[in-house]
Structure 1
Amino acid sequence: MTTPDERRRTLVQAGAFLKELRGNAALPEAVRQEAHRLLRHYPGLREIEHLARATQDAWGGSPLGAEHDPDWLRGYTHGAHQDG
């Protein structure tokens, strides 16, 4: 069963992964463009935090609360997707 913490973490990591795809010049241009298109509509950290607070039963609070582990984004050189 997926916990609220896992759900939030995965949402943040998916945004970071899209940023990695968008910035990887070794990938085909079509892949980078699709990652960019998806990121334009992807929730940033503030939106994820708002969602988490509004739906605490399903999402369990803030994605960057006291339980935040900096290792969440290890390997994502571009970091988390920010609201833009």
Structure 2
Amino acid sequence: MRQGWNNLPRESSESRWRCPLPALAHAGGQREGLAALGEAQAARARKMYAAGSSVEEIAARFAVSRATIYRCLTT
């Protein structure tokens, strides 16, 4: 039985550890993929914050984390 495991192709065991979606792989220290908020949503979030809405309220409205809203506000 042990010989059966040794005869498996090496790539089949290594493929489990690779990122299943290339868009989520890290490249150059930055994460690639879709942004949590589009440009229009980010602009709306900035306007809401300027109007006095809290970060928690904005995050709940767009169903994202507070960290996402803070990133949006700093860019």
Report the structure number with the largest CA radius of gyration.
Answer: 2
More strand by share: 2
TM-score norm. by structure 2 comes to 0.24
Q: When the two structures are superposed, what TM-score results if normalisation uses the length of structure 1?
A: 0.22
